[in-house]
């Protein structure tokens, strides 16, 4: 079965309650919508305290090339613009809305009917996706329209859709594939049309046989969409690894997928593109997995962006007494939350609660040169060496050792029997090496 | 006897042979160098701290000799004596800079800014800075991981276990700037050492609005400008909800210290205030 | 929830593997060979093993506690491995004080002086073994004979002949005196290949039984403590090199099978050369490392002063590890 060749690890999957349908949560009394929910140029709020907003109304406008709008997921009154903790561990600007009713803008199609015919042309699709604030929902929140605008001199040949969900615990993409399979495929067709590519592959790991079966069957009626079954291996969802697994092509070091004619997107992003283009609906809702081995009601919640996470945690049976860590995202790449006083953002794929005894980092001891990190690194790097170089502040050598190729997947730290903070060091090293590179 | 003689002869000739080779190589590869560099280099402290902005004392000596004077150059650990000695060796006028000392401008101790989370992982401030605000919740405050202490080559700093803040040992600090560069949050500042080492400074770098700053730390500067109003020398400036005392302008009158509602302004090495003064403060 | 949340960088999960588990896994893998040693050499073997392990543990504990003033980490099992491996490289009748001295060299000089676990460039047990071999050549090469046979194999010690040469020592000696190999192989000092495989012959106490060592090796492979590259390259290259020599002149070069079954080659290939700390990181580097070990072993055995070459071969190759690590890097994705 297909997978990538270099490195990778296979942590326990812990995909809990995968077959339970997703639950739509009630609207909160007050919503917290972060002003910046994407990677790129910062946005400015265009509403002020006391303004009345409707669902779908623009809250921030971003005209930059790499930028994404934010729309109001709620109808009501802007209470204030305040600083609230987000997943970055810092307080960030957010628009607090007192929710009153659920009044939507008229031009949004709220029906559940599947609209298959794509009437917009290439440019209109890209404009629509930008207008509706669609960003990559795989985690990085990179504005989707930027990926669709192929730079001069490069051509897109195929579209690769990430349905692997390689992070342990997460099930939101799986639920979406099961519940909105047809919409996802229409979304893929929309992205294909925007890029002008004939072929699209959807990669799904074989621990989700039902999703593979479901989408394969649906894909028969779509032109040029192929579902590819992949062997479970982390980090298969990383774009370079995914392209290799499906197409056996390597993205050259320091280059982007588009340099070998590939564009990578995610199933949830495809669904968002469908809603934006076919339903005129901005990205104001998403599925969030609330999970953890000791969580009472592990579920996938369909929530408006801006819903306080306390509501989700409560719906999942509350935060158990012995919780040591709350992670936004998966256990391999997610961010530990500093405060539970935050809200769902576009990139919040999951809330993972870890038992206190599983939350601690092991006490680091000397490196025993076991080479497990070298074996695990999917980029073919030598994490033991890179971390030592970073600690000795030898940033020039770090650049020579290709530190910038590190995708921060965490395989090295995961597999280190000495509990050395390898990835921590590498991140510091990467940051400093990048500064050095930009100077030279 | 013969054997002893033979070995003596062998070793003496071996030694002579090696000496000849060394001599020839020494002559052949002799590098012409300004002898002044050696002289200046010997006058420098040899700590290779980088406080002058040049990596290593030898390299600094080369810079000095090339320039021909000490103008614009300073050796913080060496201080005035070193600068004067070098100037004398070069035969130029000495430009002596006032000595500076590192000051920790954060009082977010465990008591003032209680822990809201526990950090685990790489004990390096730069990394923790990229992850979150810090255990106390102040986005500008000390991360308590001691990168500054590790950077100090003069053993002039240590981490106070109880407060979680770095402490500068004034007698040992040479003002080399290493800790300032090591801090990802610009908490440590080089300030004029001052007469009798007396200094007044705002011990806070929190740029948040007053209410928010106070939320994370009880001794944060809340940007109330009271110190600015009372200062008669225009030494206090307000920027980003934060007061800053310019050490060039400050006359060390101490009027601002009792004025601060959160006790964010610190005075160092002053004699205790007179009792009369203290009661006045309370009345105020 | 009343406790504070924990903040750390991703990843937030860790594989179940850790240093202690790896080290104790190696100890488990060494047990079959230890049992065989006790079977063939009796109580002496048990004493040597216990003394080596106990003194290694003691020296590690004492050095960490009183000289380095750090929390002792003797429970990680690495000192136990060093003790076991050292004992495996000694004759079972070695005076106890020499074993203790060997432990001091292994832990004090070869390990702690370089910075402790993970920092030593040379395998500590081998350093100690070579130190003892050079310091006390007679004591280190008067091999006891086995005290009981296994499946009828083996030359058992008699009251008037407690010690004798190892098969390899006997062969190399004989070749040195221009006795043809075929004649030497007839001697009852040299057991059959099956006897060699079982370990029913004199020698260092842990090196004799190929089967017990292979069993331990398989366990380590299954636990993913070692990779196949080093043992296969080591044994393979030694076999091929010896085979070529044997084809050239079977009367002065002994058979490749005898080479790999005697003289601690199995022990070296599976337990000593694979030591994580002193072996290369990348698979390609490991292959080269094993190849070098194998070829050097045969060179030392055939043309060197010592009948036995495994220890020196591994130590020599240990010195090349940093160079090998620099030259043989894994292939970077997309390059």
Is residue B274 very low, low, confident or very high in pLDDT (cuts 50, 70, 90)?
low
Residues B136 and B76 in one domain: no
Count of helix runs (H) and strand runs (E) in chain A: 14, 17
Name which residue leads in pLDDT, B282 or B87. Answer: B87
| Partner-chain residue, chosen from B120, B122, B127, that has the shortest CB–CB distance to C6 | B120
Question: Does B211 share its domain with B77?
Answer: no
Q: Is B111 on the interface with A (CB under 8 A)?
A: no
Domain-located, residue B14: no
| Confidence at residue C14, expressed as pLDDT on a 0 to 100 scale | 93
For residue C241, pLDDT over 50 is answered with yes
Q: Among residues A220, A248, A279, which one ends one of the domains?
A: A279
Considering only residues C206 and B53, tell me which one the structure prediction assigns the higher pLDDT. C206
The 3-state DSSP class for residue A91 equals strand
Mean pLDDT over residues C66-95, rounded?
90
Q: What is the C-alpha to C-alpha distance for residues C297 and A343, in angstroms, rounded to an integer?
A: 66
Q: Which residue of B has its CA nearest to A89?
A: B132
- Return the residue of A nearest to C4 by Cα: A324
Chains in contact with chain A (at least 3 beta-carbon pairs closer than 8 A): B, C
For residue A133, what are the domain limits? Answer: 122-279
Same domain, B84 and B118: no
Chain B closest-CA separation from residue C13 CA (Å): 13
Task: Evaluate whether residue A323 is within a structural domain.
Answer: no
The answer, yes or no, to whether residue C68 has pLDDT greater than 60, is: yes
| Min Cα–Cα distance to chain C from A305, Å | 24
What was the pLDDT predicted at C161?
Answer: 66
End-to-end CA distance of chain A: 44
Over residues B174-195, the mean pLDDT reads: 89
Q: Does residue B27 belong to any structural domain of this protein? A: no
CATH number at residue A206: 3.40.50.11540
Taking only residues 132 to 161 of chain A, the set having a beta carbon closer than 8 angstroms to any beta carbon of chain C reads none
Contacts for C86 with CB less than 8 Å, ≥ 6 apart: C52, C56, C99, C102, C103, C106, C124, C125, C128, C129
Q: Looking at chain B, which residue has its C-alpha nearest residue A423? A: B122
Q: In terms of C-beta density within 10 A (0-12 exposed, 13-18 middle, 19 or more buried), how is residue C280 classed?
A: buried
Inter-helix orientation angle A181-195/A209-219, to 10°:
60
Any domain includes B6: no
pLDDT tens for each residue of chain A, 440 residues long: 788 888 999 999 999 988 899 999 999 999 999 999 988 889 999 999 999 999 999 999 888 889 999 999 999 999 999 999 988 889 999 999 999 989 999 999 988 888 888 899 999 999 999 999 999 997 788 999 999 999 888 999 999 999 999 999 999 999 999 999 999 999 999 999 999 999 999 999 999 999 999 999 999 999 899 999 999 999 999 999 999 999 999 999 989 999 999 999 999 999 999 999 999 999 999 999 999 999 999 999 999 999 999 999 999 999 998 899 999 999 999 999 998 999 999 999 999 999 988 899 989 999 999 999 999 999 999 999 999 999 888 999 999 999 999 999 999 999 999 999 999 999 999 999 999 988 87
Q: What are the tokens at A384?
A: 């033991």
Q: Closest to A90 (Cβ–Cβ): which among B124, B127, B139?
A: B139
Domain encompassing residue B57 = 35-90
Same domain, A253 and A390: no
Q: Residue B279 has what pLDDT? A: 45
Q: Domain tally for chain B?
A: 2
Distance in angstroms (rounded) separating the CA atoms of residues A108 and A280? 5
Write the DSSP symbol of residue A404.
Answer: G
Question: Are both B85 and B148 inside the same structural domain?
Answer: no
Assign 3-class secondary structure to chain C. Answer: CCCCEEECCCCCCCCCCCHHHHHHHHHHHHHHHHHHHHHHHCHHHHHHHHHHHHHHHHHHHHHHHHHCCCCCCHHHCHHHHHHHHHHHCCCCCCCHHHHHHHHHHHHHHHHHHHCCCCCCCCCHHHHHHHHHHHHCHHHHHCEECECCCECCECCECECCECEECCHHHHHHHHHHCCCCHHHHHHCCCCCCHHHHHHCCCCCCCCCCCHHHHHHHHHHHHHCCCCCCHHHHHHHHHHHHHHHHHHHHCCCCCCCHHHHHHCCCHHHHHHHHCCCHHHCCCCHHHHHHHHHHHHHHHHHHHHHCCCCCCHHHHHHHHHHHHHHHHHHCCCCCCCC
Question: How many Å lie between the alpha carbon of A328 and the closest alpha carbon of chain C?
Answer: 11
Q: How far is the alpha carbon of A150 from chain B, nearest alpha carbon, in Å?
A: 32
Q: What percent of chain C has pLDDT over 70?
A: 96
DSSP character at residue A338: S
Q: pLDDT value at position C58?
A: 95
Under a CB-based contact definition with an 8 Å cutoff, are residues A411 and A377 in contact? yes
* Residue to test with chain B: of C6, C8, C13, most B Cβ within 10 A: C8
Q: Residue C14 burial (CB < 10 Å; 0-12/13-18/19+)? A: buried
> Of A266, A234, A257, which Cα lies nearest the Cα of A346?
A266
Interface touch A323/C6, C-beta < 8 Å: no
Look up residue A79 and give its DSSP letter.
E
Identify from A80, A323, A336 which residue to disrupt to test chain B contact, counting B C-beta atoms within 10 A and taking the largest count: A336
DSSP A249: -
* A345 assigned to some structural domain: no
* CB-CB neighbors (< 8 A) of B132 in chain A: 88-90, 336, 338
- List the alpha helices (DSSP H) in A239-308: 239-247, 267-279
User: Residue A22: inside a domain, yes or no?
Assistant: no
Task: Say whether both B124 and B166 belong to one domain.
Answer: yes
Asked if residue A43 belongs to a domain, the reply is no
C7 touches chain B (CB under 8 A): yes
In a domain, B172, yes or no: yes
The pLDDT value given to residue B283: 40
- Give the distance from residue C22's alpha carbon to the nearest chain A alpha carbon, in angstroms: 8
Helix H or strand E encompassing B192: strand B188-192
Measured between beta carbons, the chain B residues lying within 8 angstroms of A431 are 126, 130
Task: Say if B115 falls within a structural domain.
Answer: yes
Judgement on whether residues B184 and B251 belong to the same structural domain of the protein:
yes
Same domain flag for A272 and A169:
yes
Distance (Å, rounded) from C-alpha C2 to C-alpha B271? 45
Flag if A428 and B139 touch (Cβ within 8 Å).
no
The contacts found for B63-69 with CB under 8 angstroms, 24 or more apart, are: B64/B40, B64/B90, B65/B34, B65/B36, B65/B37, B65/B40, B65/B90, B68/B92, B69/B93, B69/B95
- Euclidean distance between CA atoms C171 and C181, whole angstroms: 7
Phi, psi of C226 (to 5 degrees): -120, 165
**Confidence check: pLDDT of B278 > 50:** no
Q: With respect to residue B263, please indicate whether it lies within any of the assigned structural domains.
A: yes
Q: Are residues B50 and B171 in the same domain?
A: no
C-alpha Rg value of chain C to the nearest Å: 21
Please say which residue of A250, A279, A308 terminates a domain: A279
Q: Which of C5, C6, C9 sits opposite B127 (nearest CB)?
A: C9
Chain A residues with CB under 8 Å of C14 CB are 361-362, 413-414, 419
Q: What's the rounded Cα separation, in Å, for the pair C189 and A232?
A: 56
Q: Which residue of C1, C7, C331 is in closest CB contact with A338?
A: C7
Q: How many CB atoms lie within 10 A of CB C40?
A: 27
Taking an 8 Å cut-off on Cβ atoms, the answer to whether C7 and B116 are in contact is: no
Look at C329 and A382 and tell me if their CB atoms are within 8 Å: yes
Same domain, B158 and B232: yes
Q: Give the C-alpha distances (Å, rounded to integers) separating B53 from B50, B97, B173, B187.
A: 5, 15, 17, 20
For B31-55, write each residue's pLDDT tens digit: 887 888 888 888 888 888 877 878 8
Same domain assignment for residues A126 and A255? yes
The residue from A279, A314, A333 where one domain ends is: A279
CA A2/CA A164 separation, integer angstroms: 12
Name which of C160, C154, C187 is nearest C173 in CA terms.
C187
> Chain B residue closest to C7 (CA)?
B119
The residue whose two tokens read 């812990």 is: A14
Q: Of the candidates A83, A338, A428, which has its C-beta nearest B126's C-beta?
A: A428
Per CB distance under 8 Å, which residues of A are interface residues toward B?
83, 88-91, 335-336, 338-339, 360-361, 421, 424-425, 427-428, 431
Using the CB atoms, write b or e for A76-97: b if 16+ within 10 Å: bbbbebeebbbbbbebbbbbbb
Whether C10 and A418 lie within 8 Å, measured CB to CB:
no
* Size of the A and C interface in Cβ pairs below 8 Å: 157
Alpha-carbon gap, residue A187 to A114, rounded angstroms: 11
Region B209-216: mean pLDDT is 88
- Omega prior to A235 cis, within 30 of 0: yes
Average of per-residue pLDDT across C17-37:
93
- Closest CA relative to residue C89, chosen from C333, C266, C281, C274: C266
Q: Which of B90, B109, B137 is the last residue of a domain?
A: B90
Q: Which of C7, C12, C17 to mutate to test the interface with A (most CBs of A within 10 A)?
A: C12
Give B181 or B275, the one with higher predicted confidence.
B181
Task: Provide, as residue numbers in chain B, all residues whose Cβ is less than 8 Å from the Cβ of A91.
Answer: 133, 139, 208, 212
Name which of B121, B208, B212 is nearest A421 (Cβ-Cβ). B121
- Contact at CB, C335 and A354, closer than 8 angstroms: no
Q: Exposed/middle/buried for A382, CB within 10 Å: 0-12, 13-18, 19+?
A: buried
Looking at the structure, tell me whether residues B114 and B238 fall in a common domain.
yes
Identify the domain boundary among B90, B108, B128. Answer: B90
Are B191 and B114 contained in the same domain?
Answer: yes
Confirm or reject contact between B194 and chain A (CB < 8 A): no
Q: Determine what percent of chain B is predicted with pLDDT higher than 70.
A: 96
| Residue A299, C-beta contacts closer than 8 angstroms, at least 6 positions apart | A17, A20, A22, A23, A289, A290, A315, A316
Q: Which residues contact C209 (CB under 8 A, 6 or more apart)?
A: C32, C33, C36, C37, C40, C197, C198, C199
End-to-end CA distance of chain B: 100
CB A290 within 8 Å of CB A312: yes
Helix (H/G/I), strand (E/B), else coil: A325: strand
Q: Identify whether the C-beta of residue B50 lies closer than 8 Å to the C-beta of residue B176.
A: yes
Report how far residue C106's alpha carbon sits from residue C113's, in angstroms, rounded to the nearest whole number.
Answer: 10
Q: Are residues B276 and B215 in the same domain?
A: yes
CB contact (8 A) between residue A428 and residue B121? no
Asked if the Cβ–Cβ distance from B117 to C4 is below 8 Å, we say yes
Nearest alpha carbon to residue A352 among A301, A313, A303, A395 = A313
Q: Where are the alpha helices (DSSP H) in A267-392?
A: 267-279, 309-315, 356-359, 372-376, 383-391
* Residue B226, in any domain of the structure: yes
Question: Do A255 and A135 share a domain, yes or no?
Answer: yes
Q: Write down the pLDDT at residue C158.
A: 66
Write out chain A residues lying below 8 Å of B208, CB-based.
83, 91
Number of domains observed in the structure of chain A:
2
In a domain, B13, yes or no: no
- The CATH number assigned to the domain holding B75 equals 1.10.15
Nearest Cα neighbor of A165 from A176, A181, A179, A151 is A176
User: Does the beta-carbon distance from A90 to B116 stay under 8 Å?
Assistant: no
3-state secondary structure of A85: strand
Question: Please, which pLDDT band fits residue C4 given cuts at 50, 70 and 90?
Answer: confident
Instruction: Tell me if A74 is assigned to some domain.
Output: no
Bridge partners of C6, per DSSP, are: B118
Cβ distance of A410 and C333 shorter than 8 Å: no
Please indicate if any CB of chain A lies within 8 Å of the CB of B122.
yes
């Amino acid at each position: 079965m297909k997978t990538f060749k270099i490195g990778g690890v296979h942590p326990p999957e812990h995909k809990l309650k995968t077959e339970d349908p997703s639950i739509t949560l009630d609207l909160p009394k007050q919503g917290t919508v972060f002003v910046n929910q994407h990677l790129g140029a910062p946005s400015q709020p265009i509403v002020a305290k006391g303004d009345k907003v409707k669902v779908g109304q623009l809250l921030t406008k971003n005209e930059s090339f790499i930028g994404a709008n934010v729309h109001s997921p709620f109808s009501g009154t802007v209470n204030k613009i305040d600083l609230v903790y987000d997943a970055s561990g810092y307080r960030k600007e957010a628009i607090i809305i007192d929710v009153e009713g659920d009044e939507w803008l008229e031009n949004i199609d709220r029906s559940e009917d599947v609209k298959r015919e794509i009437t917009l042309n290439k440019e209109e699709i890209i404009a629509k996706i930008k207008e509706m604030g669609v960003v990559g929902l795989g985690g990085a929140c990179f504005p989707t329209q930027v990926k669709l605008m192929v730079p001069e001199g490069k051509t897109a040949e195929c579209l690769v859709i990430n349905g692997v969900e390689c992070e342990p615990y997460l099930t939101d993409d799986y639920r979406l594939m099961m519940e909105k399979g047809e919409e996802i495929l229409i979304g893929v067709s929309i992205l294909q049309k925007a890029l002008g590519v004939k072929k699209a592959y959807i990669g799904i790991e074989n621990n989700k046989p039902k999703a593979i079966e479901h989408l394969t069957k649906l894909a028969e009626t779509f032109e040029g969409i192929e579902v590819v079954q992949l062997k479970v291996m982390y980090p298969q969802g990383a774009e370079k690894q995914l392209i290799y697994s499906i197409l056996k092509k390597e993205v050259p070091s320091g280059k982007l997928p588009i340099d070998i004619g590939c564009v990578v997107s995610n199933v949830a992003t495809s669904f968002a593109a469908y809603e934006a283009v076919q339903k005129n609906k901005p990205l104001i809702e998403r599925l969030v997995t609330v999970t953890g081995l000791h969580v009472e009601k592990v579920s996938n919640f369909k929530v408006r962006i801006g819903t306080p996470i306390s509501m989700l945690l409560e719906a999942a049976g509350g935060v158990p007494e012995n919780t040591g860590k709350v992670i936004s995202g998966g256990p391999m790449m997610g961010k530990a939350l500093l405060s539970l006083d935050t809200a769902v953002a576009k990139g919040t794929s999951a809330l993972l609660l870890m038992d206190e005894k599983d939350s601690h980092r092991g006490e680091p001891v000397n490196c025993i040169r076991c080479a497990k990190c070298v074996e695990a690194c999917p980029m073919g790097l030598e994490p033991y060496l890179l971390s030592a170089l970073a600690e000795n502040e030898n940033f020039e050598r770090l650049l020579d050792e290709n530190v910038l190729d590190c995708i921060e997947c965490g395989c090295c730290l995961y597999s280190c029997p000495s509990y050395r903070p390898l990835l921590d060091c590498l991140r510091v090293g990467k940051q400093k090496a990048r500064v050095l590179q930009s100077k030279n | 006897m013969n054997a002893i003689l033979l070995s003596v002869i062998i070793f003496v000739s071996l030694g002579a042979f090696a000496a000849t080779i060394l001599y020839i190589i020494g002559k052949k590869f002799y590098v012409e160098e300004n002898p002044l560099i050696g002289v200046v280099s010997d006058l420098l402290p040899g700590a290779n701290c980088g406080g002058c902005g040049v990596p290593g004392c030898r390299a600094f000596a080369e810079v000095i000799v090339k320039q021909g004077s000490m103008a614009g150059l300073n050796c913080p650990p060496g201080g005035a004596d070193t600068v004067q000695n070098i100037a004398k060796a070069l035969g130029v006028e000495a430009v002596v800079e006032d000595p500076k000392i590192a000051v920790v401008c954060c009082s977010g101790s465990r008591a003032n800014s209680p822990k809201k989370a526990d950090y685990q992982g790489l004990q390096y401030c730069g990394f923790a800075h990229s992850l979150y605000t810090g255990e106390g919740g102040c986005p500008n405050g000390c991360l308590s991981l001691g990168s500054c202490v590790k950077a100090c080559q003069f053993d002039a700093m240590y981490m106070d276990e109880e407060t979680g803040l770095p402490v500068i040992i004034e007698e040992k600090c040479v003002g080399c700037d290493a800790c300032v560069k090591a801090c990802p949050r610009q908490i440590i500042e080089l300030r004029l050492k001052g007469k009798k080492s007396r200094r007044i400074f705002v011990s806070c770098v929190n740029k948040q609005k007053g209410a928010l700053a106070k939320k994370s730390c009880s001794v944060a500067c809340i940007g109330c400008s009271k110190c600015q109003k009372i200062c008669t020398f225009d030494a206090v400036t307000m920027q980003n909800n934060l007061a800053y005392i310019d050490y060039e302008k400050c006359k060390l009158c101490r009027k601002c210290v009792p004025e601060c509602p959160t006790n964010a302004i610190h005075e160092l090495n002053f004699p205790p205030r007179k009792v009369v003064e203290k009661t006045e403060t309370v009345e105020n | 929830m009343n406790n504070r949340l924990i903040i750390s960088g991703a990843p937030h999960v860790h594989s179940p593997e850790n240093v202690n588990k790896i080290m104790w896994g190696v100890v488990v893998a060494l047990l079959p060979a230890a049992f065989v040693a006790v079977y063939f050499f009796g109580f002496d073997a048990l004493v040597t093993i216990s003394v080596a392990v106990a003194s290694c543990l003691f020296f590690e504990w004492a050095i960490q506690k009183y000289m380095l003033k750090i929390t002792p980490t003797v429970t990680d099992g690495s000192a136990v491995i060093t003790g076991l491996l050292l004992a495996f490289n000694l004759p079972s009748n070695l005076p106890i004080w020499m074993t203790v001295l060997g432990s001091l060299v292994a832990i004090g000089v070869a390990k702690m002086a370089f910075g402790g676990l993970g920092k030593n460039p040379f395998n500590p047990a081998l350093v100690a073994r070579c130190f003892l071999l050079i310091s006390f050549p007679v004591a280190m090469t008067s091999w006891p004979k086995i005290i009981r046979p296994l499946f009828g194999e083996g030359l058992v010690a008699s009251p008037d002949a407690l010690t004798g040469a190892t098969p390899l020592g006997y062969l190399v000696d004989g070749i040195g005196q221009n006795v043809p190999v075929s004649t030497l192989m007839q001697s009852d000092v040299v057991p059959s290949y099956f006897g060699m495989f079982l370990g029913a012959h004199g020698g260092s106490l842990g090196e004799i039984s190929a089967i017990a060592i292979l069993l331990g090796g398989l366990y380590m492979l299954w636990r993913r403590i070692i990779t196949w590259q080093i043992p296969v390259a080591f044994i393979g290259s030694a076999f091929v090199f010896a085979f070529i020599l044997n084809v050239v002149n079977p009367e002065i070069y002994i058979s490749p099978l005898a080479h790999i079954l005697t003289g601690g080659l199995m022990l070296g290939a599976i337990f000593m050369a694979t030591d994580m700390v002193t072996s290369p990181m990348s698979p390609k580097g490991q292959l080269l490392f094993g190849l070098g070990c194998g070829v050097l072993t045969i060179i030392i055995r055939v043309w060197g002063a010592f009948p036995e070459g495994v220890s020196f071969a591994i130590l020599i190759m240990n010195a090349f590890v940093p160079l090998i690590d620099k030259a043989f890097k894994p292939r970077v994705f997309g390059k």
